[in-house]
Chain A
């Protein structure tokens, strides 16, 4: 359990190689509890890889990853599972379990880890689906949803256990501007209501401005810029300024 002042997430000199390629290159980042951080960067710079390190799906070749003060790279399976129950992760391609219904996907974490009776679990899952604009889609199979709908169902699943730390990999990619705005509001509301820490990978600069207390710009496995949206607008690095000006992107 985190004590006062312990960062929610901390990456210390993390290096990850695939073959000869350093995808993360001595990357360090501190995310204080309750903060919303948006991660920006070009395609293929290691944003998704970074999220997978935080939730312990990938292990660094060098360095360590701390979640609420615990080094997830050193934990055994049971301890890691305990830490993961405090996190939620939305995968870039949603990664819904395709052999069960959309609703059962959302209910899955609750069935595994809560002691709620089945009826209440179903009600909660329905409420979560309604939050992401998927009311009434409970009985559909994931294959019957559009890409954007799957993404939102994945978000509902990630939110099911009211995570203290939410990792979201491009929550608004593939969504229209209106739905995208609703998802942004949902994330902000979650943070305000529960004090959750958010780490959101996004290509959507307007939504990064709405969600992010802090923006982090990743390039070639390193953080090249970090600060508020206003600070990144003034960045001395041309690529960062270019990104910040591309308002329509995402």
Chain B
């Protein structure tokens, strides 16, 4: 039981290693990668933008009530910006996308597996791993930081809307106050760590997708398990990454 579980983990790790090796080895499947960047990235924009806005509104209400307690209302925009950019934006977009993208990749590759489309690709002399898996992982790695940045932005927008309803603060003032204390070390490492989230989401979902068995039922399982496994792994990895970032930028 434990042995077979460890074997599974080892297989998944080898799969992930192979993704890394193949991702940097030409020739690249540029067209497919762009197609996935559109499917996985551009089409996630509404979800991420809307969620970011809502998160911004809610966080702003929380920061207002805590800051007001200390009479520090002037710090509200900056407080929100730090919370959002350093942690909430990356983590929330990572988890949302592990739902949308993870489930999608798991189901799509799972369906291709059980209907022998992956075999058919191999039969026409196409490397299915590079064509199906590497392209999705690369697209996801590129998309995550961009979508996170979008979420940070719509989150701040939501924060300003909530603030302006109460105090009527103009948007220019709000953003100036928000970004004034933000430093390179708040923004860049936190945003770049989402490339790791992107790698985890697409790799886990691809692994479960291409190893799907047992027909339609298996496809559903691959999809569900992709979301669960990539979310858990993402949360755990996040702890390590935050620790690492704090170590590098104390």
Chain A contact residue count (CB 8 A cutoff): 26
- Is the CB of A97 closer than 8 A to any CB of chain B? yes
> Contact at A55–B123, with CB atoms within 8 Å?
yes
> Contact at B125–A57, with CB atoms within 8 Å?
no
Chain A residues with CB under 8 Å of B119's CB are 52, 57, 91, 95
> Contact at A112–B124, with CB atoms within 8 Å?
yes
Counting chain B CB atoms within 10 Å of each CB, which of A85, A99, A157 scores highest? A99
Q: Which of B99-113 contact A (CB under 8 A)?
A: 108, 111
> Contact at A84–B124, with CB atoms within 8 Å?
yes
Nearest B residue to A48 via CB reads B116
From A80, A81, A97, B120 is in contact (CB under 8 Å) with A97
A/B interface sample: 17 pairs, CB < 8 A: A56-B122, A57-B123, A77-B127, A80-B125, A81-B127, A82-B125, A84-B125, A85-B125, A87-B123, A91-B116, A91-B119, A91-B123, A93-B116, A95-B116, A97-B121, A98-B115, A108-B124
Chain A residues with CB under 8 Å of B127's CB are 77, 81
Residues in B lying within 8 Å of A, measured CB to CB: 108, 111, 115-117, 119-127
- Is the CB of A115 closer than 8 A to any CB of chain B? no
- Is the CB of A199 closer than 8 A to any CB of chain B? no
From A77, A82, A84, A113, B123 is in contact (CB under 8 Å) with A84
> Contact at B126–A93, with CB atoms within 8 Å?
no
Nearest B residue to A83 via CB reads B125
> How many angstroms from the CA of A223 to the CA of B13 in the assembled complex?
41
> How many angstroms from the CA of A157 to the CA of B121 in the assembled complex?
11
- Is the CB of A109 closer than 8 A to any CB of chain B? yes
- Is the CB of A89 closer than 8 A to any CB of chain B? yes
Chain B residues with CB under 8 Å of A98's CB are 111, 115, 117
A113 to chain B, nearest CB (A): 6
> How many angstroms from the CA of A112 to the CA of B130 in the assembled complex?
14
Counting chain B CB atoms within 10 Å of each CB, which of A52, A95, A98, A161 scores highest? A95
> How many angstroms from the CA of A117 to the CA of B86 in the assembled complex?
50
Task: Taking A93-B115, A161-B124 as given, write out 20 further A-B residue pairs in contact, using a Cβ cutoff of 8 Å, ordered by the A residue number.
Answer: A52-B119, A57-B123, A77-B127, A81-B125, A81-B126, A82-B125, A91-B116, A91-B120, A93-B116, A95-B119, A97-B117, A97-B120, A98-B111, A98-B115, A108-B124, A109-B124, A109-B125, A112-B124, A112-B126, A113-B124
Nearest B residue to A82 via CB reads B125
Chain A residues with CB under 8 Å of B124's CB are 84, 108-109, 112-113, 157, 161
Chain A residues with CB under 8 Å of B122's CB are 56-57, 84
Nearest A residue to B115 via CB reads A95
- Knowing A95-B115, A95-B117 touch, does A89 contact B123 (C-beta < 8 A)? yes
Nearest A residue to B123 via CB reads A89
Chain B residues with CB under 8 Å of A85's CB are 125
Chain B residues with CB under 8 Å of A157's CB are 124
> How many angstroms from the CA of A93 to the CA of B117 in the assembled complex?
10
Chain A residues with CB under 8 Å of B123's CB are 55, 57, 84, 87-89, 91
> How many angstroms from the CA of A170 to the CA of B120 in the assembled complex?
16
> How many angstroms from the CA of A225 to the CA of B179 in the assembled complex?
81
> Contact at A113–B117, with CB atoms within 8 Å?
no
> How many angstroms from the CA of A239 to the CA of B30 in the assembled complex?
54
Counting chain B CB atoms within 10 Å of each CB, which of A56, A57, A85 scores highest? A57
> How many angstroms from the CA of A82 to the CA of B125 in the assembled complex?
7
